[in-house]
Amino acid sequence: MEPAVPPSPDDSPAAPPAAQRRAADESFDPALDAALGAAAALAARLATLGSLPDRAAQHQALLRLPAMLQAVGQAVARVEAAGAARSSGDDGGDALTGLADRARLRAASAGLALQYPDAPLTLVAADVDHLRHINDTCSRASGDAVLRAVADVLRGQSRPQDVIARLDGGLFVVALGGPVSTTRALLVAERLRAAIEAHAWAKLGIGLPVTASIGVAARAPGESLDDALGRAGAALQDCKRGGRNQVRSRA
């Protein structure tokens, strides 16, 4: 997989905030109505199973249930995406790095679930090691420069379909778009770790090495984004306890 630089959120002009709010509001109600309709159709089908005249008819009705369940799941994902877009309001992402923030990650993750309904969302959580020490030893401005440089490294090592966010402090998350196996995700995470370690940190004049601990987790069916992030964070903490500057995963 050749590294590709995804477009920055600032590369194209954004719609005015009021227009963004109107668009989000207008998309939410139809998405909710569609989800309620899909759920009602599924409930009606389930209610009629016992009254079907014979086993053959019941069998045929059961065979149609997976498609209906998938339709409900996709409709609910659209509601989640529309709701996240509406709740993000005027939020313009992370001001320091130009990456997505938590609200934009939530909306984009819901969009990835719609785009790749059969592929679990894989999250790569990277936390800068010893960021507090950098802030205390050098300066807060130096720490901010490190965070901006890490953001640039992640951009350079990610694909256009991936979503990169900074959640807080030195914690970054890359949501991998499309089907990605656990083995592949760990290879991607290792590439990110190595790229951060190999960056030309001497140019910042901080006189300190910069590394990152990285945790990987795939979002299970029905699992919330926060829970999946929690598992990726737990894997990241395993790295911290194990000496930092490494990659681990949590099932």
Domain ranges (residues) in the chain: 17-88, 102-249
Better-predicted residue by pLDDT, 5 or 215: 215
Q: pLDDT by residue (tens digit) across 30-57?
A: 777 887 888 888 888 888 888 888 888 8
Question: Is this prediction's pTM over 0.75?
Answer: no
Radius of gyration of the chain (CA): 22
- pLDDT of residue 166 exceeding 50, the answer is yes
| Predicted pLDDT at 127 | 98
Give per-residue burial for 18-52: e unless 16+ CB within 10 Å, then b.
eebbeebeebbeebbebbeebeeeeeeeeeeeeee
- pLDDT of residue 17 exceeding 80, the answer is no
The arithmetic mean of pLDDT across residues 155-170, rounded, is 93
Q: pLDDT by residue (tens digit) across 103-115?
A: 999 988 888 887 8
Q: Which CATH superfamily hosts domain 102-249?
A: Reverse transcriptase/Diguanylate cyclase domain (3.30.70.270)
Reported as a pLDDT band with limits 50, 70 and 90, residue 22 is low
